[in-house]
Structure 1
Amino acid sequence: MRSLLCILLIILSNIYSLIFLIKYSYLKKYASKDKQVQYSYKSLQKLTRALLFCAGIKLNVKGKENIPKNQTVLFVANHKSYFDIPILVSIIDIPMAFIGKIQLKKTPVISFWMKKINCIFMDRDDIRQSLKSINEGIEQIKNGQSLLIFPEGTRIIEEELGEFKKGSLKLASKTNVPIIPIYIENAHRILEKQFPWVKSTKVNVNVGSPVVIEELDEENKKNLAKYIKSKVEELKI
């Protein structure tokens, strides 16, 4: 029954996206770019919440009060599942974009929404293109766009966190925006453990206090990736 509901949701999500596009086409003529992104993000948030409900995913969220309401930040989370992004979009109310792998650009519905909220596509196998993506992210942050990154660079199903890539944290060190560490637990049990079947799962999400780079000592500034990894690890529920 759950699988049938998910198939139905996929169909409905395509219809929803089409309706959104019609409204967006009208909005594009009269609203500012910021208003367009805000509308797109709120529309996507509704869709992700419906997706999670349909999949039987129950979220236990702690520390949501640590998310600023009117400040540009860099969200840094561990990466467990394809569902990590829908989960985080559903609970983070301020419009944010994220950096995703270049392969997602070929996925119609996903790439459609990613483009609408100003997401960045990164080719991890191309060093020059990866650097370009990081620089693009830095410019977005400077222009007031909050971003979400997964510094491990890939999904890590094991309990231990993978290495945090130093380059991704340049998004914060070059802009001095606060870093919001996030730990996601159990998300890999939704899909990855029994792919392609979706399993009803309780997912824990713990949002940590903002890390202000200017307040760190020189050692932690120098080893920012290692330090932020430790802050995410501290959030294990």
Structure 2
Amino acid sequence: MRTILCILYIIIISIFSILFRIYYFIFKRSKSKKEQIAYSYKWLQRICKGLLKCSGTKLTVKGQKKIPKDTPILFIANHKSFFDIPILVNAVDIPMSFVGKIQLKKVPVVSFWMKKIGCIFMDRSDIRQSLKAINKGIQQLKEGHSLLIFPEGTRIIEENLGEFKKGSLKLATKSNVPIIPIYIHNAHYILETQFPWIKAVDINVNIGDPIIIDKLKDEDKKRLALYVKNKIEDLRK
């Protein structure tokens, strides 16, 4: 039943997205880039909130007050489900873009708003293109735009964390922005464990303390991927 609701919701949103786009193009003429991103992020939040409601997902977020408001941030989270982005868009209230796989460009409706908030689509099979995407992310952070990455690189359908790709942490070291670690509990039970059926699940999102790279020990800086992974592991327990 929830699977059907989600499919119907996506179809309805796809139809009405034409009106959303028309209004956006009128809106952006008189607004700054920052205002355009904030507007697009709010619409993406509404779409994702509706999807979570249709799926029966109940979201509990802890640690939202730990997120700084006056600086760009690199959010780093574990990756368990197709629902991770809708979950995090509702858990994090400040506008952020994502580094995601290139296939997300084909997702109806959501891909439009993802492009408008500056999301970076990465083809992991192409090393040159992946480096280009990382450099683009570094530039966005330096320009003041927050970013979310999943350093495991793929969905891990189990409780334990996968290996964190060292290259993804260059986003933090090259831009020198604070890192906010996040752990999402149980998201794989919404869809992945009984695919293609969607199940109502209670989801907990734990947001950790900011990690300031300049304040870390030299050893932790050298092993930053492992350090961040351990911090997210602490949020899991």
Do the two structures share a fold, i.e. TM-score over 0.5?
yes
Gaps of 5+ in 2: none
State the Cα distance separating 1:82 from its structure 2 match.
0.4
1:49 aligns with 2:49: yes
Aligned pairs for 1:69-108 within 5 A: 69-108=69-108
Q: Which residue of 2 is the match for residue 40 of structure 1?
A: 40
State the Cα distance separating 1:25 from its structure 2 match.
0.9
State the Cα distance separating 1:185 from its structure 2 match.
0.9
Relative to 1, partners in 2 of residues 1:92 and 1:16: Cα closer, same or farther, differing over 3 Å? farther
State the Cα distance separating 1:91 from its structure 2 match.
1.5
Partner secondary structure for residue 60 of structure 2: strand
State the Cα distance separating 1:26 from its structure 2 match.
0.4
For 1:47 and 1:90, locate their aligned partners in 2 and report how far apart those are by CA, in whole Å.
10
Which stretch of structure 1 is more off in the superposition, 105-114 or 118-127?
A: 105-114
State the Cα distance separating 1:152 from its structure 2 match.
0.2
Partner secondary structure for residue 175 of structure 2: coil
For 2:106 and 2:11, locate their aligned partners in 1 and report how far apart those are by CA, in whole Å.
18
Matching residue's letter, 1:111: S
Q: Which residue of 2 is the match for residue 12 of structure 1?
A: 12
Q: Which residue of 2 is the match for residue 22 of structure 1?
A: 22
Q: Which residue of 2 is the match for residue 174 of structure 1?
A: 174
Partner secondary structure for residue 235 of structure 1: helix
**8 Å contact from structure 2 (residues 91, 205) kept in 1:** no
For 2:105 and 2:63, locate their aligned partners in 1 and report how far apart those are by CA, in whole Å.
32
Which stretch of structure 1 is more off in the superposition, 180-189 or 62-71?
A: 62-71
Q: Which residue of 2 is the match for residue 198 of structure 1?
A: 198
Which stretch of structure 1 is more off in the superposition, 66-75 or 83-92?
A: 66-75
**8 Å contact from structure 2 (residues 14, 108) kept in 1:** no
Q: Which residue of 1 is the match for residue 123 of structure 2?
A: 123
For 2:4 and 2:159, locate their aligned partners in 1 and report how far apart those are by CA, in whole Å.
31
State the Cα distance separating 1:189 from its structure 2 match.
0.3
Partner secondary structure for residue 230 of structure 1: helix
For 2:142 and 2:154, locate their aligned partners in 1 and report how far apart those are by CA, in whole Å.
26
State the Cα distance separating 1:109 from its structure 2 match.
2.4
Per-residue Cα deviation, 1:47-73 (whole angstroms, up to 9, x for no partner): 111111111001121111111223210
Q: Which residue of 1 is the match for residue 133 of structure 2?
A: 133
Per-residue Cα deviation, 1:208-237 (whole angstroms, up to 9, x for no partner): 000000000100001100100000000014
Partner secondary structure for residue 42 of structure 2: helix
For 1:72 and 1:217, locate their aligned partners in 2 and report how far apart those are by CA, in whole Å.
22
Matching residue's letter, 1:88: L
State the Cα distance separating 1:128 from its structure 2 match.
0.7
**8 Å contact from structure 2 (residues 59, 205) kept in 1:** yes
Per-residue Cα deviation, 1:110-159 (whole angstroms, up to 9, x for no partner): 32122111000111111111000000000000011100000000000121
State the Cα distance separating 1:196 from its structure 2 match.
1.0
Q: Normalising by structure 1, what TM-score?
A: 0.97
For 1:156 and 1:137, locate their aligned partners in 2 and report how far apart those are by CA, in whole Å.
23
Q: Which residue of 2 is the match for residue 158 of structure 1?
A: 158
For 2:228 and 2:30, locate their aligned partners in 1 and report how far apart those are by CA, in whole Å.
41
For 1:3 and 1:161, locate their aligned partners in 2 and report how far apart those are by CA, in whole Å.
27
Matching residue's letter, 1:4: I
State the Cα distance separating 1:17 from its structure 2 match.
2.2
State the Cα distance separating 1:21 from its structure 2 match.
0.6
For 1:15 and 1:122, locate their aligned partners in 2 and report how far apart those are by CA, in whole Å.
28
Q: Normalising by structure 2, what TM-score?
A: 0.97
> Cα RMSD between the aligned structures?
1.1
Per-residue Cα deviation, 1:33-60 (whole angstroms, up to 9, x for no partner): 1111110001110111111111100112
Gaps of 5+ in 1: none
